[in-house]
Amino acid sequence: MTWFEAAFADLPDPRKGNAKRHDLLEVLTIQGHVIAGHETLDLPPIRPIVTRHQRLACTCGACGHRTKAAPLAQGSPFGPNIQALALYMKHLQHVSYQRLERLFSDIFGLKISQGGLGNLLRRSKPALDAEKAAILQQVRQAEAVASDETGVRIEGVNAQHWVFRTPNAVLHETAFSRGAQVVRDVMDGGTVRRSGPRIATAPSKVMASATRPVWRTSPAISPTL
């Protein structure tokens, strides 16, 4: 006899005396099948994980010599996941510094000043510079590069947001000019020629269409961009 059966051993058997009730034990052990289902979704409370590092010093009771642990690592207290989220929200969702500061406080209970956020984003620059160099190399090696620019504001100053596009890469560049020198700098030199709506096929390092700029790096026929 199992513990479950023993729990109901002292109960009267409803099957005796012409009882019309079902045996409770029998009902509880019937295997049912699902006839409907419903799911609810929610997020758990999001709180930062704090890891505290301490530096200790010990004094010898015999000789009195005091020994200190190695100095603690210096740098930002914010880990890589916080850094990645800040990058994503700032540059992909275009959240301002003020709203990003409020977001970390309201949602995560994490106090990060706007200056701290700036330092956090600056910390990512070496990795981003390496990625940009790889993209720039692809752009410079492409047979033809489509380009356009539009006005932007950088810290209250008028500037230009340039885009250089190839079939395999897209490069974004900011500059305080919309002149041909920006193209020369990006394409590492060359001659800029402006033609009509049809792209010229004469040999040159860089040529541009008047309707939609396409910078050519070889005299071959322009690919579809």
Per-residue pLDDT tens digits of the chain, which is 225 residues long: 666 666 666 665 655 654 445 555 565 666 777 888 889 999 888 888 888 889 999 999 889 899 999 888 887 888 899 999 999 999 889 899 999 999 999 999 899 999 999 999 998 888 889 999 999 999 888 888 888 889 988 878 999 999 999 888 999 999 998 888 888 888 887 555 544 443 333 334 344 433 344 555 444 433 333
**13 within some domain:** yes
Are 218 and 207 within 8 A, CB to CB? no
Provide the whole-model pTM. Answer: 0.58
- Boundary (domain end) residue, out of 69, 92, 123: 123
Residues 145 and 212 occupy one common structural domain: yes
Of 204, 134, 203, which is closest to residue 168 (Cα–Cα)? 134
| Chain mean position to CA 9 | 62
Q: Say how many Å lie between the first and final Cα of the chain, rounded.
A: 78
**Contact partners, residue 67, CB within 8 Å, separation at least 6:** 57, 58, 59, 60
- Boundary (domain end) residue, out of 123, 158, 183: 123
**45 within some domain:** no
The CA distance from 169 to 157, in Å, is 28
**51 within some domain:** no
**145 within some domain:** yes
Handedness of CA 30, 33, 35, 39 (dihedral sign): positive
- Considering its fold, how many domains does the chain have in total? 3
**What is the residue range of 152's domain?**
141-216
Residues 147 and 212 occupy one common structural domain: yes
**40 within some domain:** no
The CA distance from 201 to 189, in Å, is 19
